[in-house]
């Protein structure tokens, strides 16, 4: 399930709009959301003897009074762009508080040589029709591989 560049551009523009909306709300409400991608590296997660899987570790901190993700889940938009420009897009609705360090596992995606870009955006609803949003990206260079297996992702919060 890959998204061509024009669709990825549209999604990126949508994310930028959400970040701008979140920035405007941030100034008024004095609430904030922090997101930091700690690192991203390749490994063999699925036991196929190929280091074609990627682990991305990140931190989220939500500073909103009385925020309860069970009542109002936050949304993570995650993109993994391969050196060729093929982009895998994932969306997770999360209804639990973030851990100090969260991980996402990308299975069978480190299949090309070159620079990969992982981007994460978190959108947090609060009150009625208000959102805070922020994003972070990381460029890294795992070694190439040859998979042929359908890429997928798993989120660990």
Q: Per residue in 49-96, pLDDT tens?
A: 988 899 999 999 988 888 888 888 999 999 999 999 999 999 999 998
Q: Does domain 5-156 have CATH number 2.60.40.1930?
A: yes
**Cβ–Cβ < 8 Å for 119, 137:** yes
User: Residue 4: how many CB atoms within 10 A of its CB?
Assistant: 10
Tens-digit pLDDT profile for residues 12-52 = 545 655 555 555 444 444 688 999 999 998 889 999 998 88
User: DSSP assignment, residue 73?
Assistant: -
Q: Which two tokens stand for residue 76?
A: 């993570």
Mean pLDDT (whole number) for 138-143 = 79
- Structural domain boundaries in the chain: 5-156
**pLDDT given at position 25:** 46
Q: How far is the C-alpha of 41 from the C-alpha of 142, rounded, in Å?
A: 7
CB 76 within 8 A of CB 155: yes
């Amino acid at each position: 399930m890959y998204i061509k560049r024009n669709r990825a551009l549209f999604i990126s523009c949508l994310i930028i709009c959400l970040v701008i909306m979140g920035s405007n709300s941030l100034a008024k409400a004095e609430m904030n959301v922090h997101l930091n991608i700690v690192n991203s590296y390749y490994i063999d997660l699925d036991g196929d003897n190929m280091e074609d899987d990627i682990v991305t570790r990140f931190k989220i901190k939500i500073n909103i009074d009385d925020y309860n993700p069970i009542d109002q889940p936050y949304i993570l938009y995650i993109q993994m762009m391969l050196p060729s420009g093929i982009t895998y897009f994932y969306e997770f609705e999360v209804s639990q508080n973030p851990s100090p360090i969260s991980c996402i596992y990308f299975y069978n995606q480190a299949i090309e040589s070159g620079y990969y870009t992982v981007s994460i955006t978190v959108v947090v609803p609060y009150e009625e029709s208000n959102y805070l949003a922020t994003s972070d990206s990381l460029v890294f260079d795992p070694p190439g591989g040859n998979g042929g297996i359908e890429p997928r992702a798993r989120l660990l919060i």
